[in-house]
Chain A
Amino acid sequence: MIKQPIYLDYSATTPVDPRVADKMIPYLTEKFGNPASRSHEFGWDAERAVEEAREQVAKLVNADPKEIIWTSGATESNNLAIKGAAHFYKGKGKHLVTVMTEHKAVIDTMRHLESEGYEVTYLMPETNGLVDMAKFTAALRPDTILASVMLVNNEIGVIQDVAGLGEVCRAKGVLFHVDAAQATGKVTIDLAKLKVDLMSFSAHKTYGPKGIGALYVQRKPRIRLEAQMHGGGHERGLRSGTLATHQIVGMGEAFRIAREEMASENERIRYLRDRLYKGLSQIEEAHVNGDMEQRVPHNLNISFNFVEGESLIMAIRELAVSSGSACTSASLEPSYVLRALGRSDELAHSSIRFTIGRFTTEEEIDFAIDLVKAKIGRLREMSPLWDMFKEGIDLSTVQWAAH
């Protein structure tokens, strides 16, 4: 008997790896010192642990530990990178570039800067979710301060060509920020080679604890930021606030495990994802959202046409998954990411994101396939749109009474 519900929402968050939890606990009870305390052993122990963790984080992405700044998570890292650079370099211009499918932590930060008088270009991705290099290049202007593009999309898992985009930015003298919250442990990141100036990280998407993240701030050439949090001048003045030693230790250990195990882990996860994909693609009118090649191995975002996403999630309560349809909000708007790919409203409303992880088993995947197949059949029997489709009616030609 499989334990239910089955967790297939690893892009929302991951459980803390037991090895990570074990390493964290002593820093809550015995080794509780403040890493900023320079006058005794409690402080020195904590500081040593923080610096070891910084090294582990830096190692995963091939950066210098001095380039890693602790934050509370990727949202804060995105805020610090984008606002910090925009404010510091406003003498150069007031223009920024990003993509419509970015995480809200980037989109809303950009929107805030617009209210401060900055101008932002939101690029539309191609229908596979990827950014077109020519359109990106054309969007960069002489007064552009910074461009921000995520490495791995949280909803559809597509991998942007940040190496190529970085080259373009560097050639044009534009700072390049990359949100890599969904990428660590899934794709290889080599910051010694990438032309990336700022990169955001999160621990809890990679089997570390929630509430801790980091920002990579390149040293050569040196990137300057205006601090968003003021106080004791921690983290070279970029982010004041007492360091959360236990969280930091957890992030370090999680990133160490990611570095050592990602190759074999991704192979296993890819096998499971492909098995899931094979099973679900036997369902009629199932459409994968986002490019299937330029994609992390653990993501499958799929729309089941003529079935509404929230009712499907309700039907498959034995699975913990996400729907692209934000139907629980009063606005009834489908996922803005899927809309930006040009998906029809029906498909955008009918999407389910399956994200597989370290503790997913083959039995769980097989159970999920059988369950989804059965429930899709049941809901389609109830769906007037499915009837119309079967009668050969083109739904886009129907005059709907919008409400």
Chain B
Amino acid sequence: MKIEGDYTFDGPREDVWKLVRDPEVLATCLPGTQSLRLVGENEYEGEVNVHIGPIAGVFSGRLVISNEVPPESCTLTGEGKGKPGFVNGTGNVQLLDQGDNKTLMKYEGEVQIGGRLASVGQRMIDTVSKSMIRQGLGTLNDAIKARVVARAESKEVEYTPPSETEFAAAVAKDVAGGLFSSKFFLWLALAVIMIIMAVIIWFRFG
């Protein structure tokens, strides 16, 4: 599956870069993340707890960042495995300074999905992943905005990331807009969202 798109952050490029290279911040962007550890130079490992509907279990993954050109671009290669299946992928992320405290992120990548995720979730993956990215980037942007504001006012950063439930609900609501009518699809969407979120966040923002 190909993923590509762009997103404009309300913060300077240096801030965005720092944030997306900070595993702690990333972990807060994906509720359910048990850990995200730096295990080598530019190499992370992490676990995400997924438990929605019948798709449940720990999803563990590894992420390598290469071709790094701070604060402009990098390549992400990752693989994740868990009870619901597996995800492998490679992606390129580019940050473009737009001036006026705006940063444009461009991303494109190729993701390979297998197992229950692919066979049962296929019909939703495309739509859901787009929403996932929107919601995930929105969460990050909120964090960046909080930092920018805090710095301007020389205060402690006050930012509470959304809870697992809030996040899932936001994505589900987004996706459900006109697409899914039944409860069945709602939970299926939720399940897929959670897992793809893990991957995308790792891949796009590591």
- Please say whether chains A and B are actual partners in one complex: no
Which B residues are closer than 8 A to A by beta carbons?
Answer: none
Which A residues are closer than 8 A to B by beta carbons?
Answer: none
